Amino acid sequence: MNKKGYYVNVYANKNQKENGFLKIRCQGFCTTIPTTFINQYNLTVREGNMFIQKEQFEEWFKKEIHAKEEEIRLEKERFNCFYPHIPLYWKNKDLILNNPRFYSVVTPNFFMGLAYYGGCRTITIGELLLIWEKEESFIFKCSCGGKSVCFQFGGSPLSGTEWVSKTICLVCEKIDNKGGMSSPLRVKIEARRKYTSILPLAENPVSYSELRKICMNVGENN
Ligand SMILES: [Zn+2]
């Protein structure tokens, strides 16, 4: 984009042989506009591309932009309902490990995401707490000196490259990303495989907000 507008790719009917509609894409969004817009907005299609004003971009892609914003908002909500509270869960580790309805709470997003190996898997909070107790490949030292733990990782087992390794500090609660070429992806995979869910999974694990409330109440009563 420059200040005035956007280049849009016309990916269907670009020679306007058919009357009616053009399919256009820009900034990862796709939409359909009437061919009449070409004259109406005085546009020129050159080699399948045309330049449109910012106002037109925002108007024509309104639905797509809104859907994307909504998706980002929901994603943030999913993340925030669980991950930032990990230090609180850690403080209540014994309580969670000893109650199947707490232990069996499953993470909203994947824990281990492996290319070529059946995609992304979630994990229970109980397993996570056990992993963070013992498995050094999931434990880091935060810049504050506190213990930081990995709550999401992924990569390619074929190359051993780790793309992502998200961590949170149990002391200052800072969320960070420690992924990179030198991270021990294979070690993590092996370590993760040692832990299993309580089976059968508790039929009705508590909700994220219930888990949070219970842990917070324990803190207040102590
Ligand atoms: Zn810290």
> Which residues, in sequence order, are bridge partners of residue 150?
167
Q: What is the largest CA-CA distance in the chain?
A: 75
Please give the distance, rounded to the nearest whole angstrom, from the Cα atom of residue 199 to the centre of ligand 1: 34
Cα of 209 to ligand 1 centre, how many Å?
24
Ligand 1 centroid–CA 124 distance in Å is: 24
Compute the distance from residue 91 Cα to the ligand 1 centre, in Å: 15
Which contacts of 159-163 are long-range, i.e. CB under 8 A and separated by 24 or more positions? 160/185, 160/186, 161/185, 162/188
CA–CA distance, 102 with 96 (Å, rounded to integer): 5
Neighbouring-strand partners of residue 53 = 5
User: What's the Cα-to-Cα distance from 80 to each of 61, 204, 212, rounded to whole Å?
Assistant: 28, 22, 12
> pLDDT tens digits, the chain, 222 residues: what are they?
456 899 999 987 766 666 688 999 999 999 999 999 999 999 999 999 999 999 999 999 999 999 999 999 999 999 999 999 999 999 999 999 999 999 999 999 999 998 877 667 899 999 999 999 999 999 999 999 999 999 999 998 888 888 889 999 999 999 998 866 555 788 999 999 999 887 666 678 999 999 999 999 986 765
Q: Is the dihedral of CA 39, 43, 49, 52 positive or negative?
A: negative
Q: How far is the CA of 140 from the centre of ligand 1 (A)?
A: 10
H/E element, 154: strand 147-156
Centroid of ligand 1 to alpha carbon of 85 (angstroms): 14
